[in-house]
Structure 1
């Protein structure tokens, strides 16, 4: 599932009044470093069109903005479901038939994750091979 589909699914669960309120929050500065969306860009937009506007304006921060707006609406249930589903997207494991899967016992390739200011990184969940040394470096630029 792609981020756009996840966002549409989330907005589909909102009743019409909540959807209007959600769009209203998007016209305000609710996340640092994210400019509000012009009211005229959200007027009469469907849920799918609203997602397109979110992605166009916020790119990789669209989920964060959506979660923040939902929390401001006190819809913590929808915000939590979206956060969990988005985190699961980043930690999905490849199928066994994938050529990218390392053979059993092979050391894992080093992972590098980067985020822009104000971004959130959902780190993968460790399910096996948790023994041994772990080096985690966080650089603030």
Structure 2
């Protein structure tokens, strides 16, 4: 069985209020190594749309890990265990390929400060020149 079908089956088993909690958790930092999905992409998402978002954002293995974690947070431990077992069978049967990292990794940290470098609000200032390492708003005087 494809991972997406398994995820969908587990989401279809959730009551509507539990499904809404599930989507809410997807907008949070559930696993430190993976970025949350923006609320706007889940707000009106159906169960199949939610599965698509999870897999597109995290890949199959991390989609399963995050789904298992959230199922446990909403006290659906049996479903979490069933999903873990189904994924293990899929990996053993060659239907899924485990990955080593989340495809939607958290943004990288700013580079370490070096001699002559100062980091201000996530931007690197080198001898008076500004090198932006992540989007930052600047107000011109």
TM over 0.5: same fold?
yes
- Tell me how far 1:14 sits from its aligned partner: 0.4
Per the alignment, residue 134 of structure 1 pairs with: none
1:88-120 CA distance string (max 9 Å, x none) = 112238xxxxxxxxxxxxxxxxxxx974247xx
**Aligned ranges for residues 115-126 of structure 1 at < 5 Å?**
115-117=99-101
Give ranges in structure 2 of 5+ residues lacking alignment.
103-141
Structure 1 stretches of 4+ with a deviation exceeding 2 A read none
- Give TM-score scaled by structure 2 length: 0.65
Per the alignment, residue 54 of structure 1 pairs with: 54
Distance 2:10 2:79 in 1: 7
Distance 2:83 2:98 in 1: 21
Provide the aligned length of Structure 1 versus Structure 2. 100
Structure (1 or 2) with the greater strand fraction: 2
- Give TM-score scaled by structure 1 length: 0.65
Whether 2:28 is the aligned partner of 1:44: answer no
**Aligned ranges for residues 1-141 of structure 1 at < 5 Å?**
1-60=1-60, 61-92=62-93, 115-117=99-101
1:20-78 CA distance string (max 9 Å, x none) = 00000001001121101111100111100000000111113100010011111111111
The two structures, once aligned, show a CA RMSD in angstroms of 2.0
